[in-house]
Structure 1
Amino acid sequence: MWPRIGGLRTLALGTPGELRTNLNALVLAGVKTATAGLLTEYTAEGEELEQVGERLVLVDDDDQLVGVVQITGVEVVRFADVSWDFARSEGEGDRSIEDWRSGHAAYWARLGTRVTEDTEIACLRFRLTSADEGGIGTGDLGT
């Protein structure tokens, strides 16, 4: 199971270190409004897919609150069918869907999972609902 804070599931983007710090900064700046994950990770962790309206706690390397996001869309598609619209929403600077696919395939390969065109990807869209100033610093997850 993934960690919970205040009863909410956590969202730990990328891998710890510079990547997570950069991805969190993109979310806080409103540039990153989507993220992709392997459906097999949900199965391995015994987790359900996120639901539209669900709130997640965005965390840093120390599992400390960075912000709260609310899920606005969930779609499971084959890796080959991830849309350019979705890839752009990830806000990571990819110049084309081919760049996105190449970068994500390399990332997952570094983590030990080879993706194919048929690998199922959970495509999550979200919006930032609060950050540091918005009650997170005091632990108020109700906003």
Structure 2
Amino acid sequence: MSDTSENLPSFSFGDSPELADELLQLVLNGMKTATCGDLHSYEAEGETLPKPGDQFVILDGKGQEACIIEMITVTARQFDEIDEVWAVLEGEGDLSLEHWQQGHKEYFERNGVYAPDMKLVCEYFKVVQIFKLDNAPVKPN
């Protein structure tokens, strides 16, 4: 852990090491600047919702630090209110709303929480620091 990241909360994207690595790569190459999670899960687990300015260490599929992101905006929206713009910000697949809907429906079904009107915590973020493979910090381009 670096000095910069030692006091920050951490997480990996997705629900498998493979998905964590795939989504992390999209973050690191600038394609993914947004993510979302199930609001009910935050509430059920007693987690505080992120807010603008909060920073998080993003882990790869092996649990190693890869980068630090900072929240820019955090809003709550229903699954069926997500639009094409948000799908592009999430940066996945062909960037279409249809791809976003299918992939996220499958993800939330795997996690037992899908409903068309489920509330999502929608987080738009920026990368503020990228770590080399040896975890030495570097600034993003």
- Structure 1-normalised TM-score? 0.83
- Cα RMSD (Å) of the superposition? 2.0
Q: 1:63 and 1:15 mapped to 2: Cα distance?
A: 12
Q: Which residue of 2 aligns with 1:60?
A: 60
Runs of 5+ consecutive residues of structure 1 not aligned to the other structure: none
Runs of 5+ consecutive residues of structure 2 not aligned to the other structure: none
> What is the letter of the counterpart of residue 130 of structure 2?
A
Q: Which residue of 2 aligns with 1:129?
A: 128
Q: Which residue of 1 aligns with 2:29?
A: 29
Q: 2:56 and 2:83 mapped to 1: Cα distance?
A: 24
Q: Which residue of 1 aligns with 2:74?
A: 74
Deviations 1:75-116 (A, max 9, x none): 101111112111110100245323311221111112222x22
Q: Percent identity?
A: 33
Decide whether the 8 Å contact of 2:77 with 2:120 is kept in 1.
yes
Q: 2:94 and 2:39 mapped to 1: Cα distance?
A: 22
- Structure 2-normalised TM-score? 0.85
Q: 1:11 and 1:82 mapped to 2: Cα distance?
A: 23
Poorly superposed stretches of 4+, deviation over 3 Å: none
> What is the letter of the counterpart of residue 22 of structure 1?
E
Q: How far apart are 1:6 and its partner, in Å?
A: 1.8
